[in-house]
């Protein structure tokens, strides 16, 4: 298991579970966390981040619902296999990514125009 680069900004308006979910989703989607890689236990990550276990559990549940991780009793949580049809991204997943980026950017104080400018630059 690799050390996760997950950080919680306690001054952010974005809830901690959402910060965890967003960061882990990005690590998985960019293959920084490989298929089959084991994630820390809920309790371990909660301890590492100084959060309640329920906060981390909620993030893991949402990642599992998005089919980014799979959890098995006794085997822990692991990164799921990427979708077989990666050439046609799911519109719902794209919308989730856009919301995640927008939420994170707004938490930094960015306004709509700055967010759109950043997206345009990323597309070029």
pLDDT digits (tens, 9 = 90+) for 56-102: 999 999 999 999 999 998 889 999 987 665 556 677 777 878 888 89
Tell me the CB-side half-sphere exposure of residue 41, using CA atoms within 13 A: 6
Task: Record the pTM.
Answer: 0.69
Task: Write the CB contacts of 54 (distance below 8 Å, at least 6 apart in sequence).
Answer: none
Alpha carbons 67 and 107: distance in angstroms, whole number: 26
By the 10 Å C-beta count (0-12 exposed, 13-18 middle, 19+ buried), 86 is classed as exposed
Task: Tell me the pLDDT tens digit for each residue of 29-68.
Answer: 888 999 999 999 999 999 999 999 999 999 999 999 999 9
């Amino acid at each position: 298991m690799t050390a996760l680069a997950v950080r919680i900004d306690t001054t952010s308006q974005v809830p901690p579970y959402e910060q965890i979910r967003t960061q882990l989703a990005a690590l998985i989607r960019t293959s920084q966390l490989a298929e089959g890689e084991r994630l820390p236990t809920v309790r371990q990550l909660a301890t590492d981040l100084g959060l309640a276990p329920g906060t981390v559990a909620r993030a893991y549940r949402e990642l599992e619902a998005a089919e980014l991780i799979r959890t098995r009793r006794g085997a822990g949580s692991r990164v799921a296999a990427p979708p077989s049809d990666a050439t046609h991204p799911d519109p719902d997943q794209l919308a989730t990514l856009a919301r995640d980026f927008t939420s994170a950017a707004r938490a930094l104080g960015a306004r709509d125009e700055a967010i759109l400018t950043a997206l345009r630059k990323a597309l070029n």
